A = this chain, B = another copy of it.
Amino acid sequence: MVKRYDDKKIEQLIYNIYKGYGFTEEESQEVAHMLIYTDLIGIESHGVQRMIMYDDFIRNGKIRVHNQPEVVKETDVSAVVDAHFGLGQLNGIYSMRLAIEKAKQHGIGMVTTRNSGHYGIAGYYANMADEEGMIGLSSCNSRSAMLPTHATKALVGTNPIAFAMPANPNTFIFDAATTTVPQGKIEVYRKLGKDMPALWVAKDGETPVNSHSDTQDLDALRDLDSNVGLAPLGGVTEDTGSHKGFGLGVIVEVFTAILSMGNTSNEITPDDLSVGPCQSFVAIDPSIFGDKDAIIAKFSAYLQAIRDLPSVPGKPVIVAGDKEAAAYQDRSANGIEIDDKTLAEVTGIAKRLGIDYAQYVD
Contact = CB atoms under 8 A, between A and B. Distances in A.
B107 A290 contact: no
A248 B244 CA distance: 12
A5 interface: no
A259 B289 contact: yes
A129 B250 CA distance: 18
A320 B290 CA distance: 35
B311 A150 contact: yes
A205 B305 contact: no
A247 B110 contact: no
Contact of A289 (B80, B284, B318): B80
A264 B301 CA distance: 10
B152 A298 contact: no
A279 interface: no
Interface in A122-155: 135, 148-153, 155
Contacts of A83: none
**Is the contact region of chain A dominated by helix, strand, or loop, or is it mixed?**
mixed
Given A78-B289, A234-B234, A302 B266 contact: yes
Contact of A80 (B112, B199, B259, B290): B290
A129 to B, nearest CB: 13
A312 interface: yes
A183 to B, nearest CB: 15
B264 A78 contact: no
Interface string A73-84: 101111010000
A147 to B, nearest CB: 9
A241 B236 CA distance: 13
Contact of A312 (B150, B258, B317): B150
In the complex, the count of this chain's copies comes to 2
A53 interface: no
Nearest to A315: B150
B235 A240 contact: yes
B258 A152 contact: no
Given A78-B107, A180-B241, A306 B156 contact: yes
Contacts of A77: 77, 106-108, 288
Contacts of A98: none
Contacts of A75: 107, 288
Given A254-B299, A315-B150, A233 B243 contact: no
Interface in A228-242: 233-235, 237, 239-241
Contacts of A247: 163, 174, 176, 320
A310 B250 CA distance: 18
Contacts of A206: 312
A258 B302 contact: yes
Interface in A205-256: 205-206, 233-235, 237, 239-241, 243-245, 247-248, 250-251, 253-254
6 contacts: A148-B309, A148-B317, A149-B318, A204-B312, A205-B311, A233-B241
Report, nearest first, the 4 A-B pairs whose CB atoms are least far apart: A205-B312, A150-B315, A174-B247, A151-B309
Given A77-B77, A150-B318, 17 more contacts: A73-B289, A77-B107, A108-B108, A150-B315, A150-B317, A174-B248, A181-B241, A198-B237, A204-B312, A205-B315, A206-B312, A233-B241, A250-B306, A259-B286, A260-B289, A261-B295, A264-B302
